[in-house]
Amino acid sequence: MRVVRFHAPGDVRIEDAPEPSPGPGDVKIRVRACSTCGTDVKILNFGHHHIVPPRVMGHEIAGEVVEVGADVSGWAPGDRVQVIAAIPCGVCGECRRGRMTVCPNQVSMGYHFDGGFAEYMIVPPNVLNVDGLNRIPDGLTFAEASVAEPLACVLNGQNLAGVGEGDDVVVMGSGPIGCLHVRLARARGAARVFLVDLNRERLDLAAGLVHPDAAICGSETDVVDAVLKLTEGRGADVVITAAAAGAAQEQAVQMTARQGRISFFGGLPKDKPVIALDSNLVHYRELTIVGANGSSPGHNKEALRLIAEGAVPVADLITHRLPLEGALDAFGIVARGEAIKVTIEP
């Protein structure tokens, strides 16, 4: 079969690999859609400390069951499934407290296990043990289902930041994650949602799809001023940074309303994790700053449901579909910010 395999930073090959056969606790799937994201570009360029090459990449996975291992029950060939990316252990102290996103024993598809940029893939017992294989509701395409994984992460972020009814929300970063944040905030009853990006073209592309109440280009205007003006000087109830930029996080703190919440949703580059934070703003305005680290199996289920019910449509966010052989082109399109979501259909 054909796979997209990471060998070393800058060395990702589209090549032949033996088709896997399922062990006793495994489920084998025919991958039908695996979406790409910024993480894939990061892996291509820098590798990842959890990836021992060669490793099939791809973690936003949807497909069809073709074979089940001897000890597996509840799944049969033909079942349409979505696979979680981050796999908690299910048994440690955090997992038992329901905090699966911060499980210290977490492993991931496409990192510790071969991922979805392949014709066939094994879903390991680790996924099945934590209820991480989800049935795709009727009427949902594989491509749409593959977006459940990033939406699950967005859902975790908005749960932690308490996005809700009547909130003015600022989303900084208009990539696929930013677009999902805009859509989910609307679904949760936000009053107004403002979208920010430094890149005018990318901002226009995103705004044309998700229609924020205002689109603010950070390279043309002072973002903090613009948000304060739009909110009658109050600031936003919630600011979400979906950009790997310390400056965005610093601005977020400046434009948040009293008792507002800030989600540092996107991580910063490893070599630049320190920002300048006016801690008196946090103190006097009673701000809450929260992080966000991936998603749990439960978030994936809820994300699939939100997509299926039409609360968070994603079909129009998939702007590019490419065959497996086009994976390297896909990474280029993602890296240049020319797309919202690029889905590989192996």
Strand partners, 193: 169
Binding of residue 214 to Zn ion (CB under 5 A): no
Name residue 191's amino acid: A
Q: Which helix (H) or strand (E) holds 194?
A: strand 192-197
Task: Count the residues of the shown chain that bind Zn ion, applying the rule CB under 5 A.
Answer: 8
Nearer to Zn ion, 287 or 342 (CB): 342
Q: Note whether 160 binds Zn ion by CB under 5 A.
A: no
Closest CB to Zn ion among residues 115, 260:
115
Q: Which residues contact 211 (CB under 8 A, 6 or more apart)?
A: none
Minimum CB separation of residue 131 from Zn ion in Å reads: 14
Tell me if the bond preceding 54 is cis, omega within 30° of 0.
yes
Q: Which stretch binds Zn ion (CB under 5 A): 96-104, 116-124, 218-226, 311-319?
A: 96-104
Residue among 257, 245, 247 nearest 170 (CA): 257
Q: Is 103 in the site for Zn ion (CB under 5 A)?
A: yes
* Sole window of 97-105, 157-165, 173-181, 289-297 interacting with Zn ion (rule: CB under 5 A): 97-105
Considering only residues 32 through 61, tell me which ones interact with Zn ion, judged by CB under 5 A: 37, 39
Residue of the chain from 43, 95, 287, 344 that contacts Zn ion (CB under 5 A):
95
CA distance readout (Å), 55 to 9, 31, 38, 48: 12, 16, 18, 11
Q: How far is the CB of 42 from Zn ion (least distance, A)?
A: 10
Instruction: State the Cα–Cα distance between residues 168 and 193, nearest whole angstrom.
Output: 6
Shortest approach of Zn ion to residue 221 CB, angstroms? Answer: 30
Supply the minimum distance, in Å, between the C-beta of residue 88 and Zn ion: 5
State the DSSP string of 259-284.
EEEEE--SPPPTT-------HHHHHH
Give kind and range of the element (H or E) at residue 340: none
Alpha-carbon span 10 to 112, nearest angstrom = 19
Residues 61-90 within binding reach of Zn ion (CB under 5 A): 88-89
d(CA 265, CA 180) in angstroms, rounded, equals 12
CB of 105 to Zn ion, least distance (A): 5
Q: Are 296 and 88 in contact (CB under 8 A)?
A: yes
Among 14, 17, 51, 92, binds Zn ion (CB under 5 A): 92
Instruction: Please identify, using beta-carbon distances, which residue of 175 and 218 lies nearer to Zn ion.
Output: 175
Q: Which is nearer to Zn ion, 92 or 308 (CB)?
A: 92
Q: For Zn ion, give the closer residue by CB, 103 or 226.
A: 103
- Smallest distance from Zn ion to CB 121, Å: 16
Binding site for Zn ion (CB under 5 A): 37, 39, 88-89, 92, 95, 103, 105
